[in-house]
Structure 1
Amino acid sequence: MDAIVTYFSTIPSSHRSLILVGGITFFWLIENAFPLFNFTYKKWHHAGINIFMTFTTILVNFCLAFILLKAADWTIANNFGILQWLPEMSLWLYALVGLLLLDLIGAYLVHLVEHKTKFLWRFHLIHHTDTWIDITTANRHHPGESVIRFAFTAIGVLIIGSPMWLVFLYQTLSVVATQFNHANISLPKKVDTFLSYFIVSPDMHKVHHHYVLPYTDSNYGNIFSIWDRLFGTFMTLPKSDIIYGIDTHLNPEEHNELKNLLKIPFKKAALKENQ
């Protein structure tokens, strides 16, 4: 564990980029060889839109990274936050508790709030408009949503009292997890079900991308599945019944044109019908 702490305390940006690109490449190859759904679409056009948004997400996080660093350093220097107030524990347990809490605030909570708040939903909606969920969908986030998610992560770091090495570890695992559960792959049912008791499995997250309520408002987790099970937002749906997209934006001109996607948050039509 000491080696992990040392590595993530000084992880180079090049290594983080390699993990992102390596994950996309790895799952891209697998989903092309063993796809869950055989989509009929312009794959490179679809990928181009999503990869553009991936780069904007990277840019937002890069430009604001100093805030996380300052927040993490402040909590340690001032002995502030949940991790600082807990009894002494092993480093492995410390890391697990920290990861669970960061996932709760930085993934589950912000995701839930985005679905329940009209203004925030306008930005998150872009992620749900994708009707061809694959590895490139993982980081299909409007730049505005990237800022929103960053803000929740920063707040989480302050509340939890997380050191920076743990933040970097969390972000790395979060990238891999979101790639895994968005990839157009299919695991054996028993394997997927077993994994879903601990982490967000592909089948579990695909339910979240079903185009109508109540499934859209379920399975908010990213790394750990415990929060959906604990808070009653866990749902299942047979893979054969899943239809990707969102019922308010099924027109290809709305969900498959980059210029329009960037404008959606500023249109009244972005509001959910049930809100």
Structure 2
Amino acid sequence: MNNFMEYWTNISSSHRVLILMGGMVFFWLVEGYYPLFKFSFNRFKHAGVNLVFLATTLVLNLIFGIFTIKVCSYVTEHNFGLLNLVEWPLWVEIVIGLLLMDFFGQYLPHRLMHKYKYLWKFHMVHHSDTKVDVTTGTRHHPGEWLLREATAILGIFLVGVPVGLYFLYRGCAALFTHFNHANIRVPLWIDKPISWIFVSPNMHKAHHHYKRPLTDTNYSNIFSVWDRLFGTFAYADPRELRYGLDVLDDKTDEDLGYQFRIPFDKSIKTDY
């Protein structure tokens, strides 16, 4: 276990990119053979649009990631945060760290974006995708990334997350994002048991339904416990879902200029 965490503490940038892109490519290939929905669209064009948003995320990670790592170093050097209050077994520290970072890095900012109109308009870009697949997980407006990173840093500070655990969390978050957004057909007898503990593909697809109340459910990324605990868990037959948003024209989902302008365009309505 110590060697495992040593790897994540010193993980190279190339390995982090390999995890991010490797997981995406894997599920992109799988969904080509076992699709949940057989969309009539150009998969490469669709992926290209969403990967533009991934590129903005990577740039922001390069710019602001140094600060996040410094926060990790600070809490480690000063023994600050929950994980430093008690001498936990390493495996317990990993589980607690991943669980709480899923709350601060995903559940909390995600729920805030669905609650407040101004934040929701940034998040609308993610929900506007009418053909949800593995690349949709990378489709986040830069403004949304800033909020998510801010609450993640808050989590690092309060929990006392060391840099190795932070990189492990990011790796797990990326793989679950690919898994949950992938347009793959998962039998209910497999998917439902997964959703008892983790966020499953069918569970997350309900979140991408085009209108409320399903849109305002299933905010977690790794563990379903947060949605169950706070009453935001929902499960629906994925075959009855429709993707996109009822306040947007479906034809705009691949218009990059339009998508980047959504948070600042007052003519775009929300259902708040």
TM range (shorter): over 0.9
**C-alpha distance in 2 between matches for 1:244 and 1:170:** 28
Report what 1:60 is aligned to: 60
Question: Given the alignment of the two structures, is residue 19 of structure 1 paired with residue 15 of structure 2, yes or no?
Answer: no
Q: Report Cα offsets for 1:196-219 as digits up to 9, x if no partner.
A: 011100000000000010000000
Q: Report Cα offsets for 1:112-152 as digits up to 9, x if no partner.
A: 00111111111111000000000110110011111111111
**C-alpha distance in 2 between matches for 1:83 and 1:7:** 20
Secondary structure of residue in 2 paired with 1:268: coil
Report what 1:264 is aligned to: 262
Secondary structure of residue in 2 paired with 1:110: helix
Q: Report Cα offsets for 1:69-123 as digits up to 9, x if no partner.
A: 11111112222111112x3221001110011000011000010001111111111
**C-alpha distance in 2 between matches for 1:271 and 1:160:** 38
Report what 2:75 is aligned to: 75
Report what 1:49 is aligned to: 49
**C-alpha distance in 1 between matches for 2:52 and 2:63:** 17
Does structure 1 retain, via aligned residues, the 8 Å contact 2:71–2:156? yes
C-alpha deviation, 1:251, in angstroms:
3.4
Report what 1:129 is aligned to: 128
C-alpha deviation, 1:271, in angstroms:
4.9
Aligned length: 272
Report the AA paired with residue 268 of structure 1: K
Report what 1:188 is aligned to: 187
CA RMSD of aligned residues (A): 1.0
**C-alpha distance in 2 between matches for 1:69 and 1:21:** 22
C-alpha deviation, 1:163, in angstroms:
0.4
Identity of aligned residues (%): 44
**C-alpha distance in 2 between matches for 1:214 and 1:251:** 19
Report what 2:29 is aligned to: 29
**C-alpha distance in 2 between matches for 1:226 and 1:249:** 32
Report the AA paired with residue 145 of structure 1: E
Does structure 2 retain, via aligned residues, the 8 Å contact 1:125–1:270? no
Counterparts in 2 of 1:121-200, with a 5 A limit?
121-200=120-199
**C-alpha distance in 2 between matches for 1:271 and 1:107:** 25
TM-score w.r.t. length of structure 1: 0.96
**C-alpha distance in 1 between matches for 2:268 and 2:188:** 35
**C-alpha distance in 1 between matches for 2:114 and 2:83:** 29
Task: List gaps (5 residues or longer) in structure 1.
Answer: none
Q: Which runs of 4+ in 1 moved over 3 A?
A: none
